[in-house]
Structure 1
Amino acid sequence: MSRYRRAKGSTFFFTVVLQDRSSTLLVDQADRLRRVYRTVFERRPFETVAICILPDHLHAIWTLPEDDADFPSRWNLIKGGFSRGLEAGVPSMSRLKKREKGIWQRRYWEHAIRDDADLERHVDYIHFNPVKHGYVTRVRDWSLSSFHRYVDNGTLPMDWGGDMRDIAGQFGE
């Protein structure tokens, strides 16, 4: 069995992805995801610094309680709770042995936030991601994002990120 080195620290950036990258399951089932997320938060507290739910993946920044870096069990509970009761395709033998439905990719990306500048860059990345992927032309038009909380508390202006219709050229990957 592989042993993966886990980041240590208290604030982490995550990218969690569905197995089917063409799926819209996360936005179609956003209320379900919110309920599961809230339940896990109540059982195993953490602060959601920033989050954005996209059709096939999500980005989040969490700050965990002091002396607690156990984000893997939290993601396991979120992914399992979300998947339970959903129909999925026919899973492989490997997935059946591990009791996986094949809804989520097995792994996820995690990054320990190093300092305030690193945190700011990752929060900006999360909030701008719907524009980057072409789902909206303005950050404020994507409802499944903590961006609106940042506007409400005065941290960011409503027009943060501008409007891609006002910018000529192609950007992104």
Structure 2
Amino acid sequence: MYFFTVNLAERQGNDLLTRHADALREAFRMTRQAHPFIVEAAVVLPEHLHCLWMLPSSDNDFSRRWRLIKARFSRSIPANERTSPSRRRKGERGIWQRRYWEHLIRDDRDFQRHFDYIHFNPVKHGHLAHVADWSYSSFHRHVVRGVYPMDWAVAPGAIDLVSAGE
């Protein structure tokens, strides 16, 4: 089981991932078809994403999977991003950071910490006050499964109008 953070090359003011969420979803679907893995949790923010993946015991090549996801997504959207001279020389698009962060999950406590971190991330970044209001997340799937209550994790200081009776 691995935790990942993957970023766009240009993060400031970029909403590419949420604007093209269907293309990203399709890139994941196609990659999972050819190279299976289970997405235990995921959140897509405008300029980065976090995932927890369970890889098959016989194939832990996550770098190939990320390379395919990034390439499929990149090919599916218009080529109008700023590209550095270095990337142009290599024939690369300027969409993704070349690197990503991966972390091998060590135990159940580590899993739970990253699982919650993923789902709280839109609130952490100030996109909204309630986790349940973010649609680009596996949070709702886990509510249906009974893992989280719908009102889990409200931003500090946020007024919960439902609880306040409004």
TM-score over 0.5 for the alignment?
Answer: yes
Whether the 8 Å contact between 1:88 and 1:101 is mirrored in structure 2 is no
Where 1:96 maps in the other structure, the secondary structure is helix
| Identity fraction in percent | 53
Counterpart amino acid of residue 19 in structure 1: A
Partner deviation per Cα, 1:11-63 (whole Å, 9 max, x = no partner) = 10000000111210000000111111101011100000100000000000100
Q: Distance in 1 between matches of 2:145 and 2:78?
A: 36
1:61 to 35, 45, 52: 52
How far did residue 81 of structure 1 move?
0.6
Matched pairs, number: 157
Where 2:29 maps in the other structure, the secondary structure is helix
Q: Distance in 1 between matches of 2:135 and 2:104?
A: 26
Alignment partner, residue 20 of structure 1: 10
* Further displaced range: 89-98 or 140-149: 89-98
Q: Distance in 2 between matches of 1:124 and 1:102?
A: 31
How far did residue 108 of structure 1 move?
0.4
Partner deviation per Cα, 1:60-84 (whole Å, 9 max, x = no partner) = 0100001321000000000011011
Q: Which blocks of at least 5 consecutive residues in structure 2 are unaligned?
A: 161-166
Residue 151 (str. 1) matches residue 143 (str. 2): yes
Residue 92 (str. 1) matches residue 84 (str. 2): yes
How far did residue 100 of structure 1 move?
1.4
Alignment partner, residue 170 of structure 1: none
Q: Distance in 2 between matches of 1:67 and 1:97?
A: 36
2:23 to 15, 32, 38: 32
Alignment partner, residue 68 of structure 2: 77
Where 2:111 maps in the other structure, the secondary structure is helix
1:100-111 equivalent positions in 2, closer than 5 A:
100-111=92-103
Q: Distance in 2 between matches of 1:98 and 1:65?
A: 32
Where 1:111 maps in the other structure, the secondary structure is strand
How far did residue 96 of structure 1 move?
2.6
How far did residue 90 of structure 1 move?
4.3
Detail structure 1 runs of 4+ shifted over 4 Å in the superposition.
none
TM score, norm. by length of structure 2: 0.90
Q: Which blocks of at least 5 consecutive residues in structure 1 are unaligned?
A: 1-10, 168-173
TM score, norm. by length of structure 1: 0.86
Q: Distance in 2 between matches of 1:108 and 1:67?
A: 23
